[in-house]
Amino acid sequence: MPARPVPEPSRPAGREIPARVPEAGGTVALPSAPFSGATALALSTYDLGRRPAALAELATALRATGWQVRLADLAVDPWDDASLAGVDLVVWSLPMHTATRLMAPMVPQIRALAPRARLMAVGLYAVLNRSVLAEAGVEVSDHGTGIGVAARRTLRSTPPMAGLDGQPAAEGAGVWRSSRDGLPPLDRYARLVLADGTERLVGATAASVGCRHLCRHCPIVPVYSGRFRAVAVERVLAEVAGLVACGAGHVSFTDPDFLNGPAHARRVARAMHERFPQLSFDLTARISHLRDHRHLLAELRDAGCVLITSAVESFDPLTLQRLDKGHTAEDVEVVVAACRHAGIGLEATFVAFTPWTSVESYRQFLDRVDALGLAGSVAPVQYGVRLLVGARSALLDLPEIAASVGEFDPELLVHPWSHTNPYVDELYRRVSAVVRETARSPAGPAERQAVHARLRALVGSAAPRPANTHVEAAPQPATIAWLTEPWFC
């Protein structure tokens, strides 16, 4: 099992304005099998502790074009050189930064063991880093820009977006179910822990792909440019049926934002609850959507929603403006109260260390988490997340970022940066040490409270909790449901 990279200090940054990482050639479709019996090995290195839905879909697509397919999820199973025997094609699924960094050292090893095999990668981070991958001899397929080759319909008036096979996506409601043959059982992955301590197996699928918004730091923006598409409801239900058949009692919707199309989201939630009333689910949505559509929270709860993840990122007005998040700290208060009234847990995520962070603003950040009653629901890793300036990042449009980051590092897959105040970087290192100590085991509400208390002691924060009008008026938070593998980038 590859070890996940943990937050680490950035390398010293240069002061020259770096050029954007060039895109090496174009993306290509998944190849058809060149002969009967040709074998493909599909690999996943990390997918947030979930059984990788993208890997199952990739295997289905490969089988549809004639390949004999083997699957390996290296997040739960060790690498075995024997899996390369007779392999003609190796394809990695790269949905995130961590998965891509774990994949990189495998390339020369696989090249040495299977010199004739064609190497490819799919997924969001494959597309973002195709220049680096091309230099390593790995092709990038545009198959990874979505979740399937079945029909999808556009929910926003945008230029046509290519489908996974390089052709425009068809209209209609065709149903597609991924094959999960060869994947480990769900009980080897993260679980949902309910307020009463009972656990449920978790399956993952998506109801949409892409995102309407243009947050500067988001890796989705350079690929989708503000576009998103919905997955036909019947296809979502077919995927969920497959997960239920595998034992899932809970579904994690992996959409970048489940509420990009609120009408579609309601249809999916209602239809799933009607067909599988025993299921609970969680989703991800931005603060501005939760603020604007908070009247839907009770309906989502009644359909089985027990947990919402939302990228708060910061409470600092300047940082929120620079990231173009579209919400304020006051909006976060409204959303926390709305989720609490609805009885849905809110798991906030943050980018705690940015070029605009100060030691005092970090202290205020911890105080604000406490004031909002979120200390028991913020995963420890969130306190040490450092801003990633990735390939083709819109952050490079900010003069202060372009002038302070280093050249793109093909190993770290970022433009490294150092804070102008060395005390902030030292604080980051100390926070990271605390986070690493907690990363060895699942952190429930009590452990999360304890980490928050340690960090407040670290920065010398002992201020009383300030009053908060929205949250004080909301019901007192009960122990919420939580996933044993929290959000990670």
Q: Are 431 and 408 in contact (CB under 8 A)?
A: no
Minimum mean pLDDT among 33-37, 219-223, 320-324, 466-470: which range? 466-470
CATH of the domain at 265: 3.80.30.20
Are residues 130 and 279 located together in one domain of the fold? no
Q: Is residue 434 part of a domain?
A: yes
Task: State phi, psi for 120 to the nearest 5 degrees.
Answer: -140, 165
Q: What residues contact 4, with CB distance under 8 A and at least 6 apart? A: 46, 98, 102, 439, 488
Are residues 138 and 252 located together in one domain of the fold? no
Q: Identify residue 92 by its one-letter amino acid code.
A: W
Q: Are 347 and 378 in contact (CB under 8 A)?
A: yes
Q: Is residue 22 part of a domain?
A: no
CATH of the domain at 75: 3.40.50.280
Q: What residues contact 274, with CB distance under 8 A and at least 6 apart? A: none
Are residues 149 and 197 located together in one domain of the fold? no
Q: Is residue 276's pLDDT more than 70?
A: yes
Domain boundary among 129, 153, 177: 153
More confident residue, 177 or 51: 51
3-class DSSP state for residue 349? strand
CA distance 424 to 430: 10
Q: Burial level of 391, CB count in 10 A (0-12/13-18/19+)?
A: buried
Nearest in space to 477 (alpha carbons), one of 307, 328, 281, 296: 307
When divided into structural domains, the chain yields a total of 2
Q: Is residue 454 part of a domain?
A: yes
Q: Is residue 242 part of a domain?
A: yes
pLDDT band at 151 (very low <50, low <70, confident <90, very high): very low
Are residues 231 and 90 located together in one domain of the fold? no
Residue 469 tokens, joined: 């009008």
Please state, in angstroms and as integers, the Cα–Cα distance from residue 91 to each residue in 123, 173, 177, following that order. 10, 28, 20
Q: Is residue 22's pLDDT more than 60?
A: no
Are residues 357 and 425 located together in one domain of the fold? yes
Calculate ∠ Cα 116-119-124, nearest 5°: 180
Q: Is residue 39's pLDDT more than 70?
A: yes
Nearest in space to 282 (alpha carbons), one of 6, 48, 4, 45: 48
Q: Identify residue 272 by its one-letter amino acid code.
A: M
Q: Is residue 116 part of a domain?
A: yes
pLDDT of residue 35: 95
The DSSP output letter for 353 is: B
Q: Is residue 31 part of a domain?
A: no
Domain boundary among 131, 153, 175: 153
Are residues 229 and 97 located together in one domain of the fold? no
3-class DSSP state for residue 296? helix
pLDDT of residue 122: 94
Are residues 146 and 223 located together in one domain of the fold? no
Q: Are 124 and 221 in contact (CB under 8 A)?
A: no
DSSP 403-451: TT--S-BTTTTB-----SSHHHHHHHHHHHHHHHHHTTS---HHHHHHH
Q: What does pLDDT average to over the chain?
A: 86
CA distance 383 to 359: 13
Are residues 148 and 194 located together in one domain of the fold? no
Q: Are 41 and 83 in contact (CB under 8 A)?
A: yes
Q: Is residue 18 part of a domain?
A: no
pLDDT of residue 440: 74
Task: State phi, psi for 162 to the nearest 5 degrees.
Answer: -60, 145
Are residues 278 and 357 located together in one domain of the fold? yes
The end-to-end CA distance of the chain, in Å, is 18
Q: Is residue 412's pLDDT more than 90?
A: yes
pLDDT of residue 135: 94
Are residues 376 and 235 located together in one domain of the fold? yes
Residue 394 tokens, joined: 């819109």
Paired strand residues for 19: none
Q: Are 364 and 443 in contact (CB under 8 A)?
A: no
Structural domain range at position 468:
186-483
pLDDT band at 466 (very low <50, low <70, confident <90, very high): low
Are residues 119 and 227 located together in one domain of the fold? no
Q: pTM for this structure?
A: 0.87
Q: What residues contact 481, with CB distance under 8 A and at least 6 apart? A: 192, 193, 194, 195, 280, 282, 306, 307, 345
Are residues 137 and 198 located together in one domain of the fold? no
Q: Is residue 158 part of a domain?
A: no
Domain boundary among 111, 138, 153: 153
Q: Is residue 2's pLDDT more than 90?
A: no
More confident residue, 469 or 403: 403
